[in-house]
A = this chain, B = another copy of it.
């Protein structure tokens, strides 16, 4: 009963802490580092215990939990999707997540993931486009100019080589906001009067709209040979962005097929509709685009493994910077069988930080950035 108190105070990264961490590195460098983690983790796809996320749907939205683990680390994300929230001055998507030690179940990190989700979604989109879009892609249409759009634009600029973005949103104030935020980025930015106008002549089309409805943002008549469509916003049952005929006309790639068939744009298609998982392309098991004329679609819904990759970036970056707070979230027991003892004055011992878990190394050098961030 006189064992030393091993203590479980997970590291806590608040929004201000993550903001500072990202500002210190720059958005593009963070997206690049997360994209490397995602690529490295997708390349060991079979090592992970994967499951479709657990969704609780309600009238105006959904709350989801997204767990994943390998032999070393476990992560989950809490994330909501409530399109009407903007009218209340609240974000459509709010998220936080946890990284834990698989060997003991100890939570190691609690982090904000609202900002981080935008980074990792952009990182995943750029990673997919690098594997699927034509190499000479320079012009991107960006349909939906809300919370995710700046991150998508910067990711495609720095990781894919896009130099021009053509914008459309039904809310012109959102487009104005995006243009203001991209001022000084080096991107050529063009506001367009319609989706059709924005898409015309684009090498890549990114759709990142938020309505929880069966929308048809992109119709087959807008397709041009060799186009790559990065469909980000169709990501839960009843929420799509592409006409079924667009999917029929394209080669379609997804993250994790069992989840995408429920949540992605392919929810409109038969259960045996042919898709290729991105990890298969990254690992060379299957081909990406088959020709320069083929239309490719990345039907992205967001997969738990991407959050795992992002959380381990945040965990290691915070340790490098020596930032973050500690939460007294788990009792520190001198005798683990004496939980009741925490209720005595003596039992409530002072606790030290949780042990640090060694994760695969992150290389933060920016040699893959297309330009300085």
Contact = CB atoms under 8 A, between A and B. Distances in A.
A45 interface: no
Interface string A58-82: 1111110101110100101010111
A173 B65 contact: no
Contact of A331 (B6, B51, B91): B91
Contacts of A89: 3-6, 333, 336
A74 B81 CA distance: 14
B104 A90 contact: yes
A342 B333 CA distance: 39
Q: How many copies does the complex hold?
A: 2
Contacts of A1: 173, 177
Contacts of A65: 54, 65, 67, 76
A207 to B, nearest CB: 16
Contacts of A22: 343
Contact of A80 (B49, B105, B118): B105
Contacts of A23: 343
A22 B342 CA distance: 11
A203 interface: no
A103 interface: yes
A102 to B, nearest CB: 5
Nearest to A92: B336
Contacts of A63: 67, 69, 74, 100, 102, 105
A148 interface: yes
B333 A91 contact: yes
Interface in A164-178: 171, 173-174, 177
Interface in A1-27: 1, 3-6, 8, 12, 14-16, 19, 22-23, 27
A110 B107 CA distance: 14
A340 B74 CA distance: 28
A98 interface: yes
Given A90-B6, A339-B147, A54 B56 contact: no
A219 B212 CA distance: 54
Interface of A: 1, 3-6, 8, 12, 14-16, 19, 22-23, 27, 49, 51, 54, 56-63, 65, 67-69, 71, 74, 76, 78, 80-82, 85-86, 88-92, 94, 96, 98, 100, 102-107, 110, 112, 114-115, 118, 145-148, 150-151, 171, 173-174, 177, 181, 327-333, 335-343, 348
B107 A78 contact: yes
Contact of A343 (B27, B67, B100): B27
Contacts of A106: 80, 90, 94
A296 to B, nearest CB: 27
A74 B23 CA distance: 33
Contact of A339 (B12, B118, B341): B118
Given A56-B102, A62-B105, A115-B339, 16 more contacts: A6-B88, A15-B332, A19-B343, A23-B343, A54-B54, A56-B69, A58-B71, A58-B102, A61-B103, A61-B104, A65-B67, A65-B76, A80-B100, A90-B104, A151-B340, A177-B338
B56 A327 contact: no
A16 B348 CA distance: 7
Contacts of A58: 69, 71, 102-103
B330 A15 contact: yes
